[in-house]
Structure 1
Amino acid sequence: MDQLEFPLLGRLNAPSVAPEQWVRYAKTYRDVVRIAWELRRVKHSKADMARDCKFHAQHISDWLAKDDKPRRRSLPGDCITKFNNYVGNTLVSQWLARGDQLTVLEEITATKQVA
């Protein structure tokens, strides 16, 4: 019997952690936002996200547009947590942390040292 591969490591009370392969696959911030959207837990529409998260529909269209024209808006930093929660994965945050070469263990260690 073949094993089934689950696309995300599921958490019920928070967004799921995305597999490392998706973090490595995304080359740009705009790529990772689009991939996180494609991997969303529940396949809601852009209009649903605009309504539920109080985002502007036109902004969402820019964030998820396949072209990267200079006039396109990118997902703002202050919207990342709400976006992660809505799509049900932490891919955007993971990609940003990887870019800073930050690991969760380093963050925990630094927090303990300050406390």
Structure 2
Amino acid sequence: MQELRLLGGVVNGPAFLPTDVIDGCKTYREAVRISWAHRRIKGMTQRTLAELIDCYPPHVSDYLHADDKESRRSLPGDRLNAFAAAVGNWGVQQWLMHQAKLTVMEEVIAQRAA
């Protein structure tokens, strides 16, 4: 796990969420909301998240909104790693791997074989 060194301590990189939390997610958007709900810094605002992942605040509001209307935007794939770093967990990536029925090790093996 990657560590970010700071004055006075260390902040660990993104963590894994419990499997039962991931299993409870039915959709991609729900996985995004669960990851946000389990963010490391509870006081972080959506505006701060937008700055950290280089997105517009209204877009972030769409990503995290409780309804799943078709007019709502979804978190783009190219922002997943920045999102994980900002919220402090790999929840969305875990959900995607779960949907593909892959473990992290299986994914690494598949990439090396390609």
Sort the TM-score into its range (normalised by shorter chain). Answer: 0.7 to 0.9
Displacement after TM superposition at 1:107 (Å):
2.3
- Give the 5 Å matches for 1:88-103: 88-103=88-103
Tell me which amino acid in the other structure corresponds to 2:35. Answer: A
Unaligned runs of at least 5 residues, structure 1 = 1-10
- Higher fraction of strand: 2
Are positions 1:25 and 2:24 aligned together? yes
**With structure 2 as the length reference, what TM-score do the two structures score?**
0.83
Matched length? 104
Counterpart amino acid of residue 13 in structure 2: A
The corresponding residue for 1:13 is 12
Q: Secondary structure at the match of 1:95?
A: helix
Q: Residue type matched to 1:33 in 2?
A: V
Q: Which runs of 5+ in 2 are unaligned?
A: 4-10
Give the drift of 1:48: 1.0
| 1:63-74 equivalent positions in 2, closer than 5 A | 63-74=63-74
Following the alignment from structure 1 to structure 2, what is the Cα–Cα distance between the partners of residues 62 and 77?
15
Which whole-Å CA distance do the structure 1 matches of 2:113 and 2:66 have between them? 43
How big is the alpha-carbon RMSD for the aligned residues of Structure 1 and Structure 2?
Answer: 1.6
Partner Cα separation in structure 2 for residue 89 and residue 52 of structure 1: 14
The residue that corresponds to 1:56 in the other structure is: 56
**In the aligned structure 2, how far is the partner of 1:34 from the partner of 1:16?**
16
Deviation at 1:53, TM superposition (A): 2.5
The separation in 1 between residues aligned to 2:107 and 2:30, in whole angstroms, is: 25
Identity across the alignment (%): 41
**SS, match of residue 107 in structure 2:** helix
TM-score, normalised relative to structure 1:
0.83
